[in-house]
Amino acid sequence: MDGQLQDEVPERTPTPQIWIRLHDQQELLGRLLRRWQAKDGMWFYEVSLTLWAHAIVHGKDTAEPADIIVSVPATHVAPVPEEAEAYKRVPVRRHPAAIARARTGRRPTTPPPPPPAGASTAGGGSGAGWPQVRGDGSDRWKITYPRHPYNATGPRRSVLHHASCFTAQGPADLTTDQALEALRWPGAQACEMCGADQLTAPPGGPGKAR
């Protein structure tokens, strides 16, 4: 069995809980199935929500729990702190065009969508950790370096995250000015989950960061 012991049970892909913000600002708790990146670089979270559905059981009308699967923009999800480790093992799929663009440092052909109304404030009664970028110069940032294939020809990718970002670990020791400079590096990207993609230079500065 390809080297696997017959009585060994394969590890199951985790489906951790995650907060989802709907278009009308309601918040629901769903299950994260995978993350995927579209051709233009935008990230989506594929989640499962359990709702009610009509069913006929033994000839009688009833309602039963039913799962539906939807793709939610990365700007409209927030972590459940207790699930932090499980998030790391959720499958990730990236569009080949997005990977190629990241390796060469080219910008997306379409701009990222504007942040949702109220995205920078904590939501409802859930206590969900929605992005908390203050934008007043007191923010701190950190950089992660995704795996770099040995045969890659472009610059090594780097991803800028806000200190509050739950998708990245490590110390957040960069100031906003240093973060802006880091975004000018070849192959640099900004995380959409924590609002780093909305980072702008201060008035009179060099302009909007990539």
Q: What is the pLDDT of residues 48-89, one digit of tens each?
A: 998 888 888 888 999 888 889 999 988 888 888 888 888 888
Spell 94-111 as b/e; 16+ CB within 10 A means b.
Answer: beeebbebbbebeebeee
Q: Against a cut of 0.75, is the pTM above it?
A: no
- Taking the domains of the chain in order of start, what are their residue ranges? 9-95
What would the pLDDT profile of 2-40 be if each residue is shown by its tens digit? Answer: 444 455 544 577 889 998 888 777 888 999 999 988 887
Closest CA to 76 of 41, 2, 26: 26
Give the C-alpha separation, 104 to 22, whole Å: 35
Closest CA to 90 of 98, 103, 79, 102: 79
Tokens 């699967």 sit on residue: 69
**DSSP label at 200?**
B
